[in-house]
Structures are given as structure tokens and as C-alpha cells.
Amino acid sequence: MDIASTPSNPAGNPEMADAAVEPHDPATTMRKNYQPPAWLVSEIRLEFELGLELTKCVATMRVERNPDGDGDQTLHLSGDNIAVMNLKVDDADAEGWSMSGPNLLLPLSGDAHKVTVETHLHPATNSQLMGLFASNGMLCTQCEAEGFRRITFFPDRPDVLSRYTVRMTGDKATFPVLLSNGNLVETGENGDGSHWAVWDDPWLKPSYLFALVAGQLVANRDTFTTMSGRKVDLAVWVREGDLERTDHAMRSLINSMKWDEEAFGREYDLDQFNIVAVADFNMGAMENKGLNIFNTRYVLADPETATDGDYDGVEGVVGHEYFHNWSGNRITCRDWFQLSLKEGFTVLRDQMFSADMGSEPVKRIEDVRVLRAAQFPEDSGPLAHPIRPDSYQEISNFYTATIYNKGAEVIRMMHTMAGPERFREGTDLYFDRHDGEAATCEDFVKSMEDGAKLDLSQFRLWYEQAGTPKVTMHATFDQSEGAVTLHFTQKVPATPGQPTKQPMPIPIKVALFDRDSGTHGGEQLLMVDKSKADFTFKGFTRPPVISANRGFTAPIQLDAENNDDDLVFLAAHDDDAFARYESLQQLVTRELLGSIENGPDEKRRGAIADAMGAVIDDAQIDDLMRGELLMLPTLTFLLELAAPADPVALHHARERLKAHIGLRLRDKLIALHERASAIPYGLDARARGARKVKTQALVMLTAADPKEAAARAEAQYRSATNMTDRQGALMVLAGIGCPARSELLADFHARFDGNALVIDKWFALQAGSLDPKVLDRVEALAQHADFTIKNPNRVRSLYMTMAGNMAAFHDESGRGYRMIADLVLQLDPLNAQTAARFIPWLGRWRKIEPKRAALMRAELERIAAAPDLSKDTREQVTKSLD
């Protein structure tokens, strides 16, 4: 908006303004430079006159000198794209203030003052979706991490905790619903068609947790009674036509509230809890105090329009945001370097919640798959950073799989080392000790040491060092002693800014299996805490089969040097679900990497097909687990191991193996598809499992015989009663050149026309398909009437899906790279946060064979050469080229 209207020579003292000017190049913020704020804001009252085109905001703050600050006389208020329309100190026109770039500097004489500042906002043209913005005719906010400064001038940092009162007034027809944080305390009519509401949040909070929503919304309402008997009014707010798709979100919310009481002893602390669904949103959701704001895709679900995966997404994200009320809001972060304090811990909490709501082993496998596909590549690339970074240019770039998912793994290791009871004592102590504070990762670790009785001195390295540790395990057997020795080595690879590393403490759970009985004598947790460590076990008459890193106790790359026979044995016998899955994955990985160099290994391929056949026949496991075991490793994970790789060759190798399995297991897969198809729709584990294996069977059959499978897929599509089956069938059809392809894609579009979340799927199905013409299709789809670059979900459904489609993105012409770079350049001025998220795909060039790598680099250079790049994209591109 109108940064141009900023008074260049504001009222007051011009000399002083000049003296205070600081350089404003994209400065790097360093963790070690943390300083407590010089000024605190004990209270803030925000008064909004709402309008889509123009919203006026008057903020009145009680500012007080921080006794722990450095005594700076000048109050520094951050701003971003806003101008001072009026500024008062203690009700008199402010004097001597100046602008320092986007920020406001206000010299103050006393120790406490009332500061009033007026700003004018233009939500309708706020395409960045940070601060106050319009979406589908409603107003809403996103303030984390630094969006509050786009609303008013404020010490916009998480260690300034204030009490908020919010008064909104607006046209009643345009904004019938007025929401903010905390409790609704007053409402009224102005008599001119406008009305107002006052919300009061009794809990101190940082500015990033502020939220406001105004618009035409309807609510799904329910109540929850907390463990101490407090009745809470719950509401899930959506647009009129979406109400019937909110039951799952509401159920998930109620389950989350109950679960946090039981699992962590955490009770909700306000009379109301509101969730609002917004169609235009950069991220998944936001935990604003008492007013969570969600991307519609994590709220709306019904059988016809949402897949089982979507249902899980809603449950997980509703849980995640709710759990932030304690891990994030009651205890927040001192500075943004501590982001994983709330995100890593909260991801662990949502993982535990989802595991308790569904299947624990299946959830663990899913979480590890995500970690390997998203976090491992980050950790070994140019954007690698520790879970507690040391520096950043744009904090929005640090909402990463490392901070979130590796952060969760690090706390999960504490859970593994302490056991559930002591872990709970640790978290109890943490919540108790730091309630109401802006805390650090160190505070969490210390609470864990004291509460869970762990010595975490060396373990702190997990917060400091980036990079996925590479661990090898080699077993030797001493016949005369009956002793097995496991020899471990570890190496933490160099990452940007961290050329040398220290050994980390790595908890590895192992079991030693007897080859004949297929049993083991109990699990052991080994701590590998040096670069080399040996562990000896006695009482063996022959070499056992070693099952290591059971449950994926540590986020490492483990090479356990198992031979094929051992892997086949473990795939059949391991009683740890993750380890069983893992041994099959390793066998497949070995075959795929090997086949690129030497062609397929017939014996190993046979062993894989046999093992998969045994999985299909195994009556001891449910279909949800069967589905996991039948899944081949993701290409992103394989790329990590193959580097420098030809991704297209890897893709073809993977397809060939699928075809081989499909051919070898044809009858079993057909029987599986038919058995699963006979189970009626339901949300129970049995029916969900059936849907999972149904489409998997179809996928393998298609790889083997596309023509025959097409008929089966078409039948599945036409008889589908739910989105899981329908999308699964169409995914298969979209990848093959069968006659039904375009007809059914058109049918899908017509059937769900106007439902944005399903139309997103329609785009993604085509951008992610195995069709060799994907790039042509993506180009055409970008011109489709339903495509808009303004909606992040739509942009991601087309372009993020294409970038993740290895065969398309890595087309040897370089066209896939060019399309992503073109998108970044077009999107960056509109929505920098979303644009910057595409850079890591191109940034992986070091992992790719030289010809493609050069093309990828060239696109990064083209982006880097563009004038006026956002801070977000600039940081990512620069680091990716280094």
C-alpha cells in the first residue's frame, strides 16, 4: 500500500530523525545478539473501523520502561507498509518522532506513557496475506511471525506480552460476525446500519497471537466441559454453504481438548474457543489465542469431497493449533530463534494425539515418511539449519520441516530416553515453571533435565548442529564367547556455516533375532554418543539378525549392513511395525539404486515380490498397516541416497519395479482390490484400511497392465461413494493414455464445480500424474478459468504438485525448472511468502546429475537477477546458489 504517503519529514525534530536512520538492507538477525526490549507494553486497546477497502485502526498502548532493558530513551515501534496518520503521547501531539525505514522511533522522557497511533489499512489489496487482509468478502488477520506490524506500530517481537482489548465497528450487513481473541464482553448497534463488539483477552500475549475476523459467517456450535468443570462454548465458523462439512473439525477439537487434559494435564482457559476457515491462507492454520484461523482445507471435510488423508489432516491440524494454547501461547517464544520450542513440541503433541485417535504404528510410519521426504533433503541441502537457527534474514523462511518435524523428533528422543512417565514429569515441570513467560529452547531442555531426570548436556548438540547424522552398524560374532558385537560409527555431515561437527548422543533401539525361532530376547536402547561405539551381547549360539533403530528412535540415516536375507527375514518376522516396514523399504531401495547402475537383480526383485505377497496374505495385520508395507519409498527420499542422481532414471526404475510386482502378484492384487471394494464406506479403521489398499492394488496393477487396470479404475471411479475411492481411481486414470481419461476428468470438474478444495484436487491430479505430457497440461491449466495466482492453495495444487512430480519437474529440457522460476518471478511481488517456498525445489541442484543441475542453477540465477526481489525469495535464492 501507500508507503509513499509516509511523511518524509515528520512533525518534530528533523535533525534527530536523520541521526536515527539505520541502514535497511536485508540485515541478518543473529541469535547471539538478543537484547531484552527496552520498553514493554502492558496493555493495548485496538479500535477498528472496518472496511474491505479501508480499515482505520487506532491503537492505544500503555508503554513502560523495562527494568531489564538497556535504558534506551527511544521507543522503537516496528511498522511494515503502514504510515502514521496520527500520533499522540499522553493525549498530546507527539513530538520528536521519526521514521527509520518502515519503523517508528519515538523518544520518551518518562518511565511510562500512553501512546496512541492511528493507521489506515487496505485489506482488499493486501495480496501478501499478512496483517489484515480480505478473503471472499471477509476480513481476517495473520500476524505470525511479523504481520502485526502491518496493522499498527508496535514492538512486534514475541517477548513483549500485553493485555489486549479490541473494539470493532463495521457495517452490519457486510460484517455480521465480529470476532477477536479472548471473550466477547460487549456488543451494540450504532443506529446507522453499523454495529460493534468488544473482545477482551485476559491472558497476556505477544502481538503475533492477535487476531480479528469480520464477515458473513455461520457457526457449527458445541460445548466442552473442562476437567475442572468450566463450560466452554465452541464454534467452527465457515461460509454459509460449508456448514455441513464442519462436523469432523468440531469432533477433532473436542477430542483434542479432552486428550490434552489426559495426556499432558492441560486445561483450556477461556470461555470461548473459535475456529474460522479462510480460503486464502499462506499456511495451514494459526493458533491465535482463542481464535484459531485455518486454511479451509484443514477444516472442511465430508465423505464426498474429502479423502481419508484429508480427514487425518483436519484432525492433526485442529489438534496442533489447539495444543499451541499451552505449547506456544501460555508459554511462548522469547525470540524467533526459539520457534522450535513451540513448533517442534506441538508437532510431537499432535503426532501423539493422532496416534492415540488412530493407529500408533501406522502414524509413526507416516511421520517418518514425511520426515524423510521433506526434512532429510532440507538437512542435506543449501538451506540446512539447526532446529534452533543461529541467524536469519526473513523469519518466514524458517517455518520448515526442520523446525517442525525434526524439532518433534528431537523431543521424541527425550521421550524415548526418559520413558512416558518421566517425560510427563518433565513437561509438567516445563509448563509449571514457564507459564506466562516467553521462554527459550534452553528452558525446555533444563525442565526436561530436572523433571525427567535426564542428563542432556551432550544432547543439546541436537539443537546446535544441522545435518542428518549418518550412522553405520556392523555386527561381528565371536563363536567361542557366544558374543555378538555391534560396531557403530556416526558422522554428522558438514552443513552451511558448520564445516565440522561433534558426535551426538543417538538413542538407537535394537533387538537381536534368533534366525530359527524368529523371536528375540527383548529390546535394548543403546546410546551411540561417540564417533565409534561398540556394544556386546552374550549368550548366542549363532549370529542373530539385527533389527536396529526400531520405531525410528533417532532421526538418522542408518546403514545397518544387513544382507538381503536378513532384510527378507525382518520383513517377515519383525514384531516392531516400523522395523518391519523399514526392512522392506531398504530392500526396495537397494534394488532401485542398484538397478540404475546394473539393471534389475532378479533374485532380489523376486524376494521383494514374495515379501509383498506375504504382506497381502498376512492375516495378523490390518489393512491400514498393509497399505504402509506395500508402499514404495518416495522419490525424494531415494534422491537423497542416490546423489548425484538422474531423477528420471530413478523414476523409471521405480515404475518398473511397480510393474514387476503388479505382474508377479496380479491375482493377489485383484483379489485384494475386490475384497476391499466389498467393504462399505465408513470412517472406521477397517473401512479406511480397505480404501487404502484398494487404490494401492490398483496402482500396481496399472503399472503392470495399464489397459486392463483402466477398466477396473473406471469402474472404481463410477461406483465411488466417496472422494478417497474417486480420487484414487482418477489418479490412476490421469496417468495413462486411456480413452476414459479426459471424459472422467471433465466429469470430476463438472461434478464439483464451485467447490474450491475439490477443484484444487482436480488441478493436482493432473499436475502430479504419470502422464508424459504433464508439462503441456500444466501450461494449459495455468490458463484455465479456474486458475488464479492469488489463491495459495490453487497455486500449490498446480505448481507445487508439478515440482514434486519428479518425472515432470526434471524433464531434461529444463522446462519444468523454467516454469517454476517463471512462477516465482510472477508471484514474488504479490505473495513473497508463498513464492519463496518454491525455491528449495530448484535449490536441490547439487543432488542432481550435472546437466540438469546446470539448468536448475541457471533458473536460480535468473531469479536472483530480478530487481526488487522480496526479502523472502532473495534469502532463499542467495543461499541456494552459494
- Provide the sign of the torsion angle of the four alpha carbons 377, 379, 385, 386, taken in this order: positive
Nearer residue to ligand ARG within complex by CB, 289 or 626:
289
Report the C-alpha gap between 745 and 731 in whole angstroms.
10
Of residues 748 through 777, those in contact with ligand ARG by CB under 6 A are none
Which one of ligand ARG, Zn ion, none is in contact with 594 (Cβ closer than 5 to 8 A by kind)?
Answer: none
For residues 253 and 322, is the Cβ–Cβ distance under 8 A? yes
- The residue within the footprint of ligand ARG, chosen from 287, 640, 828, 859 (CB under 6 A), is 287
Nearest residue to 724 (alpha-carbon basis) of 687, 755, 774: 687
Minimum distance from residue 343 beta carbon to Zn ion (Å)? 5
Nearer residue to ligand ARG within complex by CB, 131 or 735:
131
Catalytic-residue membership of 321: yes
Which of these segments, 156-164, 267-275, 284-292, 641-649, binds ligand ARG (CB under 6 A)?
284-292
Q: Does 285 bind ligand ARG (CB under 6 A)?
A: yes
Minimum distance from residue 336 beta carbon to ligand ARG (Å)? 10
* Joined grid coordinates for residue 160: 513483549
CB neighbourhood size of 125 (10 A): 13
Minimum distance from residue 231 beta carbon to ligand ARG (Å)? 26
Options 287, 315, 321, 449, the catalytic residue: 321
Binding mask 291-330 toward Zn ion (x if CB under 5 A, else -) reads ----------------------------------------
Binding mask 309-338 toward ligand ARG (x if CB under 6 A, else -) reads -----------xx-----------------
Binding mask 330-349 toward Zn ion (x if CB under 5 A, else -) reads -------------x--x---
Q: Do the bridges between strand 470-478 and strand 557-559 make them parallel or antiparallel, or are there none, so unpaired?
A: parallel
Which one of ligand ARG, Zn ion, none is in contact with 144 (Cβ closer than 5 to 8 A by kind)?
Answer: ligand ARG
Minimum distance from residue 281 beta carbon to Zn ion (Å)? 14
* Joined grid coordinates for residue 304: 464426498
Q: What crossing angle do the helices spanning 685-704 and 666-677 adopt, rounded to 10°?
A: 140
Q: Does 793 bind ligand ARG (CB under 6 A)?
A: no
Nearer residue to Zn ion within complex by CB, 323 or 799:
323
For residues 570 and 484, is the Cβ–Cβ distance under 8 A? no
Nearer residue to Zn ion within complex by CB, 409 or 725:
409
Q: How many helices (H) and strands (E) does the chain have?
A: 31, 31
Report the C-alpha gap between 542 and 354 in whole angstroms.
41
Nearer residue to Zn ion within complex by CB, 341 or 693:
341
Minimum distance from residue 495 beta carbon to ligand ARG (Å)? 22
CB neighbourhood size of 598 (10 A): 8
Minimum distance from residue 349 beta carbon to Zn ion (Å)? 10
Which of these segments, 39-47, 140-148, 170-178, 572-580, binds ligand ARG (CB under 6 A)?
140-148
Which one of ligand ARG, Zn ion, none is in contact with 285 (Cβ closer than 5 to 8 A by kind)?
Answer: ligand ARG
Q: Does 729 bind ligand ARG (CB under 6 A)?
A: no
Binding mask 346-375 toward Zn ion (x if CB under 5 A, else -) reads x-----------------------------
Q: Does 463 bind ligand ARG (CB under 6 A)?
A: no
For residues 93 and 115, is the Cβ–Cβ distance under 8 A? no
Which one of Zn ion, ligand ARG, none is in contact with 282 (Cβ closer than 5 to 8 A by kind)?
Answer: ligand ARG
Binding mask 339-358 toward ligand ARG (x if CB under 6 A, else -) reads ----x---------------
**Strands ordered across the beta sheet of 524-528:** 524-528, 506-513, 545-548
For residues 348 and 674, is the Cβ–Cβ distance under 8 A? no
Helix, strand, coil % (nearest 5) of the chain? Answer: 45, 20, 35
Burial class (CB in 10 A: 0-12, 13-18, 19+), 28: exposed
Report the C-alpha gap between 331 and 372 in whole angstroms.
30
H or E element in which residue 213 lies: strand 212-215
Report the C-alpha gap between 11 and 89 in whole angstroms.
13
Binding mask 797-826 toward ligand ARG (x if CB under 6 A, else -) reads ------------------------------
Map residue 422 onto helix, strand or coil: helix
Of residues 11 through 30, those in contact with ligand ARG by CB under 6 A are none
Nearer residue to ligand ARG within complex by CB, 395 or 807:
395
Write the secondary structure of 590-638 as one string of H (helix), E (strand) and C (coil).
HHHHHHHHHCCCHHHHHHHHHHHHHHHHCCCCCHHHHHHHCCCCCHHHH
For residues 37 and 69, is the Cβ–Cβ distance under 8 A? yes
Minimum distance from residue 339 beta carbon to ligand ARG (Å)? 9
**Residue whose C-alpha cell reads 525424494 in the numeric block:** 636
| Exposure b/e, 287-310, CB count within 10 A at least 16 = b | bbbbbbbbbbbbbbbbbebbbbeb
- The residue within the footprint of ligand ARG, chosen from 118, 144, 566, 849 (CB under 6 A), is 144
User: Residue count at the site for Zn ion (CB under 5 A)?
Assistant: 2
User: Residue count at the site for ligand ARG (CB under 6 A)?
Assistant: 15
Q: Does 277 bind ligand ARG (CB under 6 A)?
A: no
Which one of Zn ion, ligand ARG, none is in contact with 165 (Cβ closer than 5 to 8 A by kind)?
Answer: none
* Joined grid coordinates for residue 153: 506500530
For residues 589 and 650, is the Cβ–Cβ distance under 8 A? no
Minimum distance from residue 148 beta carbon to ligand ARG (Å)? 12
Q: Does 242 bind ligand ARG (CB under 6 A)?
A: no
Q: Does 209 bind ligand ARG (CB under 6 A)?
A: no
Q: Does 379 bind ligand ARG (CB under 6 A)?
A: no
* Joined grid coordinates for residue 54: 479501508
Which of these segments, 281-289, 460-468, 580-588, 846-854, binds ligand ARG (CB under 6 A)?
281-289
Q: Does 283 bind ligand ARG (CB under 6 A)?
A: yes
Nearer residue to ligand ARG within complex by CB, 131 or 451:
131
Nearer residue to Zn ion within complex by CB, 321 or 379:
321
Nearer residue to ligand ARG within complex by CB, 260 or 859:
260
Phi and psi at residue 9, in whole multiples of 5°? -130, 80
* Joined grid coordinates for residue 11: 512533525
Nearer residue to ligand ARG within complex by CB, 280 or 628:
280
Report the C-alpha gap between 605 and 587 in whole angstroms.
9
* Joined grid coordinates for residue 601: 537383480
DSSP 681: P
Burial class (CB in 10 A: 0-12, 13-18, 19+), 617: exposed
Report the C-alpha gap between 319 and 340 in whole angstroms.
17
What residue type is 635 in one-letter code? L
Of residues 387 through 406, those in contact with ligand ARG by CB under 6 A are 396, 399
Which of these segments, 244-252, 279-287, 462-470, 862-870, binds ligand ARG (CB under 6 A)?
279-287
Which residues belong to the active site?
Answer: 321
Q: Which residues bind ligand ARG (CB under 6 A)?
A: 142, 144-145, 282-287, 320-321, 343, 396, 399, 833
Q: Which residues bind Zn ion (CB under 5 A)?
A: 343, 346
